[in-house]
Amino acid sequence: MEKKQYDLVVIGGGPGGYVAAIRAAQLKMKTAVVEANHLGGICLNWGCIPTKALLRSAEIYSYLHKAEDYGLIVSGASFDISKVVQRSRNVAKKLSTGVQHLLKKNNVDVVDGHGKLSGGQAGSHEITVEKNGKPHLDLVAKHVILATGARARELPHMESDGKLIWSYKDAMVPEVVPKSLLVIGSGAIGIEFASFFRNLGAEVTVVEMLDRILPTEDYEISAFAQKEFEKQGITFITGAKVSDLKKGAKTVTAQIESADKPRRITVDRIVMAVGIVGNTENLGLEKTKVKTENGHIVVDEWLRTDEIGIHAIGDVVGAPWLAHKASHEAIICVDKIMKQKDVHPLEITNIPSCTYCMPQIASVGLTEEAAKVEGRQISVGRFPFMGNGKAIALGEEEGLIKTIFDRETGELLGAHMIGAEVTELIHGYGLAKTLETTEKELMSTIFPHPTLSEMMHESVLDAYGRAIHI
């Protein structure tokens, strides 16, 4: 069988893998990407991008029902779920084609098939590419980057069937909008689907094992979010777990156990959103020194495994499971391989997190609780959307921006937001953290008026008793 020689072979063409390949090509490495399904990975094809297209449709539909608040008259508003889904799939297809173009433009070879390590040694790793379960091509490379991503976690005896019990993939291509829906898990994925289906009219219940929804977010933001979602009609059951599911002909009955009382809920559909697990199987890792732990590949700060020349990035190396984290790791990994100057390890607290529900949620850095656990003396600022002219003009008065500073040094420790378009604002605080900006520099920054971004400034001012508009 033919053996093709490369400087780098990337296994997986998602937002980590294809970025790594393009960066390597920029640095004059002969590079190949091996991808078994779709370029762009889960994020582009079945995650970040198509879900945002779905949520946009639901957002517009919800605004149509509030048209009179804006002095507009709209009657008979309805939706066609098949066209909503088709638009989402078209968006994903367009971007996947774009990734293919970028790889071709950068002279990266794209190999169709499943790649796995099949032998070799430091400086010469062999990768066998399989199609339809049969080997059809061997590649050899000095360096290999594993960027195989992750898949939805399944609960025992509650596996998705694509009919009554949905995975996130199933929930993205519904043939009908169920009248009632149970979402198991209240992380970003669960909340986004809860928001989407509620805005299209479904009766939605969310079950969360921990004592609050969105448990990785700041406690205050989490509480604010729950109140807003409850106003929209979403029901939450926290501190509870689903112990059993019984499928009927057209409905599912869930047995829910909680501290107060057990209960049964019968719904048309269930969405499983209980986390993800890394794709570490069938990669030939058993032939290497690569270690796995809790379903993820173990790497050092430079994304190196214990096998010289084999690296791993993205969801397969663990949380946070975010596309932009994978892309950033890709650059770090390749730049370190090529001994570029000014390469820095990933700083986890500088990674922004966004949830695209209504209202949106975004954060970066430490929560107030985490800062206190670290023993920090902190100053906390808050500014409500109802105090901002642009928010009022938009009709988006429900929201909050919260900033947390180290009282002694002025270091920005964290920022947490809920409200309209906060996912487009959070990068400002992310940039501030990367630049190690202090409160004085943020206070001295001129924010344009009228914008939502002015609330970022006011929140910083409030942390030091200097807010003007509250």
* Number of helical H runs and strand E runs in the chain: 13, 24
**Cα distance from N-terminal residue to C-terminal residue, the chain:** 72
Cβ-contact 18, 40 below 8 angstroms: yes
Q: Exposure pattern of 303-317 as b/e (b: 16+ CB <10 Å)? A: bbbebebbbbbbbbb
- H or E element at residue 325: helix 323-337
Query: The tokens of 128 are what?
Result: 């066998």
Give catalytic residue positions. 449
Residues of the chain by 3-state class (helix, strand, coil), percent to 5:
35, 30, 35
- Residue 433's SS3 state is helix
Query: The tokens of 359 are what?
Result: 């209202």
Burial (CB count within 10 angstroms: exposed 0-12, middle 13-18, buried 19+), residue 118: middle
Residue 3 per-residue DSSP state: E
Question: How does strand 235-238 pair with strand 203-208?
Answer: parallel
| CA atoms within 13 Å, Cβ hemisphere of 93 | 6
Query: The tokens of 91 are what?
Result: 């968006």
Closest CA to 89 of 51, 118, 56: 51
Closest CA to 417 of 214, 231, 125: 214
Cβ-contact 50, 94 below 8 angstroms: no
Closest CA to 419 of 395, 443, 439: 395
Query: The tokens of 204 are what?
Result: 């939605």
β partners of residue 145: 10, 311
